[in-house]
Amino acid sequence: VDADAAGALVATGSRTVGVVALADDLSAAEELAEAEVVTVKGQLFHRKDIGTAALVNARVAHMLELQKAAAKRLGQHQVTIGVLGSTRGSSLQPVLRDIASGALKGVKVGLVISNKADAPILARAAQHGLPYEHVPVNGRSRQDYDAELTARLEAEGVQLVLLVGWMRILSPSFCARWRRRALNVHPSLLPAFAGGMDLEVHSAVLAAKVPESGCTVHFVEDQVDAGPTVVQKRCP
């Protein structure tokens, strides 16, 4: 792509142009992108099928099959992890990315569980071909509900549990069962701003006007956000 005498961008030969737009929702972003595309002059073949959910899911499924075949050939011993999530599951994505790239070897996700039927983390699991289940609380006590979580996780051979936006306090019996085998991601530099969840933690950090924040990965114990720290990442 070059600039002509008037400063306009000019593409010669066979080229692919990607247009990115930012907006509050997908429909608005598509409208902005379309408005930019129509300003491009010349012979264009405009494809709208690239990046559709069906195409992306097909590509991901093919990638997963290749990964399974490679792991089988290499005879990799796998650690099976289970995931508990109530929200988007964005913190799970780096794990899935590293499993896919081979950076995280010998690991597979055996089950993703959410207490909310509409939690986006379930859609994320489906897109990556992962087993997932919605387990409703239905008025049960914390101990009874968590007992079912443990049963479902163990039925899938789960050895390590990741809490990714899990919006429930876990029972002492669950914490004891999974002691040193359950990890939580908390959006602050613990022990600062412990006890909060999701956006309320970020709001508290901003209100306190502290010079830095970050996130903490820690072991889960029956005292909320008090388990030993595994790793922390800081940002100003």
Q: Which residues are part of the catalytic machinery?
A: 186
Q: In what order do the strands lie in the sheet with 213-219?
A: 132-134, 107-114, 79-84, 160-163, 182-186, 213-219, 229-235
- Tell which residue, 123, 119, 176, has the closest CA to residue 146: 176
Give the count of beta carbons closer than 10 Å to the beta carbon of residue 147: 16
Give the count of beta carbons closer than 10 Å to the beta carbon of residue 134: 13
Cβ contact 75:104 at 8 Å: no
How far from chain centre, in Å, is Cα 194?
22
